[in-house]
Amino acid sequence: IAGITQAPTSQILAAGRRMTLRCTQDMRHNAMYWYRQDLGLGLRLIHYSNTAGTTGKGEVPDGYSVSRANTDDFPLTLASAVPSQTSVYFCASSTSGTDTQYFGPGTRLTVL
């Protein structure tokens, strides 16, 4: 692995289903982030983690949860998906919470 990986690449999901988007980095970065990107809008921060064991809420956290059990992994869970959560989801990481962020390839999620 080199950098950040995300899985799945894309997913179509029925409304009401639970879904976990996976994110793994091998750069030993302390900070990790989840964003969503919607047409015509800037990237919006969902949740972040400045170090393993801690998480924080971003601009649009409702309907999403995260955990950070170790340095490498930062999964994002949709407990009960709704159509408004249709989006492209990007995971990112940085050395610390104040440094340049580097992005994974993204997950395209469609909720029907």
Which residues bind to another protein, rule: CB under 8 A? 40-45, 48, 58-59, 90, 97-98, 100-106
Query: What's the closest the beta carbon of residue 71 comes to another protein, in angstroms?
Result: 19
Does residue 22 contact residue 1 with C-beta atoms inside 8 Å?
Answer: no
Measure Cα distances from 61 to 1, 10, 27, 29, 51 in Å: 29, 21, 26, 22, 18
Nearer to another protein, 28 or 42 (CB): 42
Strand partners of residue 48: 33, 56
Query: What's the closest the beta carbon of residue 44 comes to another protein, in angstroms?
Result: 7
Residue 43 Cβ, how far from another protein at the closest point, in Å?
Answer: 4
